Amino acid sequence: MSTFVPEPHLLESPRGRAWPQPPGTGPARPSSPAPPTTAAAVIVGAGPAGLAAASALWHLGVRDVVVLDRNGRPCGRFLDRIDTLKQRVLRSPYQHHPGVEGYRDCELLDFARLHWARLTETERREIRMAQSGHRSVVPVDVFEAYCRHVAALHHVDARTWRATARRVTPGPDHVTVSGPGFTVTAPYAILCLGEERRDAPAHWTDGAPLPDGVGYWDEPVPDGGESLVVVGAGLSAAHLVSNGLAAGRSVHWILRAAAERYQCADVNASFFRAEGRARFDGTSWADRQQLMRAQRRASVMFEFRPLFQQAEADGRLTVHRGREVRELTAVAGGGAAVLLADGTRIAGDHVALALGTTVSTGEALLGAGPAAVRDGWPDLDERTLAYRNAPRVLAVGAAAGMVLGPAARNIDGHRVATARVAATVAAGLEGRTLPQPARVPAAERYEAAVVHA
Ligand SMILES: Cc1cc2nc3c(=O)[nH]c(=O)nc-3n(C[C@H](O)[C@H](O)[C@H](O)COP(=O)(O)OP(=O)(O)OC[C@H]3O[C@@H](n4cnc5c(N)ncnc54)[C@H](O)[C@@H]3O)c2cc1C
């Protein structure tokens, strides 16, 4: 039995190295500034989920795809968020890659090995860890280059347009996706919208906008200043704390939980496997909600622990555990302050809020009826991930959480969702329907999956 020893230097991969694309797969841009008016399938969102969906359709022979993204760059928002936080490695291991389930393309681990000469000794050791089936960390540089490779290989760049969808109108035979200056009609639409950042509760500011000196995790922290206050318990908060310490600031970290939670991933590893998903499959709505509450909790990668413990011991970091925020205020002369429910006031040159994310359900585009959102989750068919009230519209990503479990929001979950969605779209375009699987009681399915895992 080996003991996991966290090493903070694993978090420090270099960023911004040049990564050549394999010969013949250079990125191509769309030939027209506006998307075409028709397609076989339209994908909204070009994050890791949209990239996986477009690539899976390509393998199934569906090439007339239009991908629409606000940012316009495959995986752009994901990488922008990561770079704003100065995150250098992914949380998910090499096995979680935005490739296509069932097709042995060059996978993330193969890709990293092909670029061995570019990697540091630490990064090479992580590859060996992955090869021996252990947890490993993936440099953001490698992941970005791999996403470019996947996008180029499956012609996703050439099918991606910078465009913001405002409306998705489902009809009996087609779906129309429209926004400023464009309308695309296709037999199927796949919503890969990801998650939006969670805003501060209105009562923290008495309904007013955030005061000066307060920002969110996906906004840059202004340079300079001697002190930083961070609110939140997840990996984004940890990056903000660690960046503040690295810049020589004194940092206050406010947590609602009684203690910080150190874990490899936010999601228990079993939920990336069949037996974990089977715990969601066919079980009652209330049970799924309970599982989601219990299993999707903010946590921080182990590697931060020695760093934070040392900083707390020598007084550079003060952790306020089990504390509720009551109010955010600006401070005259600069900076901001957080008033806690117990009356403590914590001021700093900047207050950074890392309160997590909320699932984009599709309701803003589809409307309340077709999205049929319940308790924050859209109503999706469990077999196809199609909206039950709009069967030509399907979802990949966090929105599929109540079908696939907490891993639906992660890169690995996208591969599982994509396999179902792409097969449904390809079969529908060919005029086939997917065979109905035999209904097996959920408890039996769970036991069978555990036996075969
Ligand atoms: C800092 C950070 C680090 C993370 N690290 C990991 C990790 O290591 N491993 C992991 O598995 N997961 C990680 N996650 C979770 C992560 O969010 C997902 O894995 C991944 O980004 C989800 O991909 P997605 O395509 O569903 O969403 P996104 O990456 O958010 O992509 C959705 C895209 O859709 C676009 N979009 C949304 N609405 C519209 C619209 N109306 N019109 C046009 N475009 C639209 C958005 O602009 C965005 O580009 C991390 C999350 C964060 C915030």
Q: Is the dihedral of CA 335, 338, 344, 346 positive or negative?
A: negative
Same-domain check for residues 320 and 381: no
Same-domain check for residues 75 and 58: yes
Pocket residues: Cβ below 6 A from ligand 1: 44-50, 68-71, 76-78, 81-82, 85, 87, 90-92, 96, 164-165, 192-195, 236, 397-398, 409-411
The stretch 303-330 carries a mean pLDDT of 96
Q: Which atom of ligand 1 is nearest to the CA of 50?
A: 25
Same-domain check for residues 375 and 411: yes
Question: Does a structural domain hold residue 400?
Answer: yes
The stretch 325-353 carries a mean pLDDT of 96
Q: Which atom of ligand 1 is nearest to the CA of 96?
A: 11
Please tell me the distance between residue 168's alpha carbon and the centre of ligand 1 in angstroms: 20
Rounded alpha-carbon distances, angstroms, from residue 47 to 29, 64, 73: 17, 19, 8
Question: Does a structural domain hold residue 445?
Answer: no
Q: Quote the CA–CA distance of 89 and 123 in Å, as a whole number.
A: 10
Please write the tens of the pLDDT for every residue from 77-129: 999 999 999 999 999 999 888 877 777 788 999 999 999 999 999 999 999 99
Q: In which domain, by residue range, is 329 found?
A: 202-263+299-355
| Last residue of one domain, picked from the residues 335, 355, 375 | 355
Q: Which atom of ligand 1 is nearest to the CA of 91?
A: 8
Q: Which of 43, 68, 75, 78 to mutate to test the pocket of ligand 1 (most atoms within 8 A of CB)?
A: 78
Q: Quote the CA–CA distance of 78 and 52 in Å, as a whole number.
A: 14
Question: Does a structural domain hold residue 49?
Answer: yes
Same-domain check for residues 130 and 240: no
Please write the tens of the pLDDT for every residue from 244-255: 999 999 999 999
Please write the tens of the pLDDT for every residue from 360-410: 999 999 999 999 999 999 999 999 999 999 999 999 999 999 999 988 999
Q: Quote the CA–CA distance of 36 and 423 in Å, as a whole number.
A: 24
Same-domain check for residues 24 and 169: yes
Question: Does a structural domain hold residue 278?
Answer: no
> At a CB cut-off of 8 Å and minimum separation 6, what does 255 contact?
232, 233, 319, 320, 321, 322, 323
Residue-level pLDDT at 272? 82
Same-domain check for residues 22 and 156: yes
Could you tell me if 151 and 157 are in contact, meaning their C-beta atoms sit under 8 angstroms apart? Answer: yes
Same-domain check for residues 149 and 244: no
Checking if the pLDDT of 440 tops 90, the result is no
Same-domain check for residues 308 and 338: yes
| Structure token pair of residue 306 | 């020695």
Average pLDDT value for the chain: 90
Given its phi and psi angles, is residue 17 left (phi above 0), alpha (psi -120 to 50 degrees) or beta?
Answer: beta
Same-domain check for residues 393 and 321: no
Residue-level pLDDT at 142? 96
**Percentage of residues in the chain with pLDDT exceeding 90?**
73
Please write the tens of the pLDDT for every residue from 8-62: 788 889 999 988 875 555 555 666 789 999 999 999 999 999 999 999 999 999 9
Nearest CA to ligand 1 atom 16: 410
Number of domains in the chain: 2
Could you tell me if 405 and 280 are in contact, meaning their C-beta atoms sit under 8 angstroms apart? Answer: yes
Q: Quote the CA–CA distance of 310 and 17 in Å, as a whole number.
A: 31
| Last residue of one domain, picked from the residues 340, 355, 370 | 355
The stretch 205-231 carries a mean pLDDT of 96
How crowded is the C-beta side of 43, counted as CA atoms within 13 Å?
35
| Last residue of one domain, picked from the residues 316, 338, 355 | 355
Same-domain check for residues 39 and 115: yes
Q: Quote the CA–CA distance of 333 and 330 in Å, as a whole number.
A: 9
Checking if the pLDDT of 200 tops 90, the result is yes
Checking if the pLDDT of 195 tops 90, the result is yes
Question: Does a structural domain hold residue 277?
Answer: no
Q: Which of 141, 156, 193, 217 to mutate to test the pocket of ligand 1 (most atoms within 8 A of CB)?
A: 193
Q: Quote the CA–CA distance of 8 and 55 in Å, as a whole number.
A: 35
Same-domain check for residues 166 and 217: no
Between residues 354 and 292, which one has the greater pLDDT?
354
Question: Does a structural domain hold residue 275?
Answer: no
CATH of the domain at 47: 3.50.50.60
The stretch 294-323 carries a mean pLDDT of 93
**With bands split at pLDDT 50, 70 and 90, how would you rate the model's confidence at 266?**
confident
Same-domain check for residues 50 and 152: yes
Residue 309: strand, helix, or coil: helix
Checking if the pLDDT of 264 tops 60, the result is yes
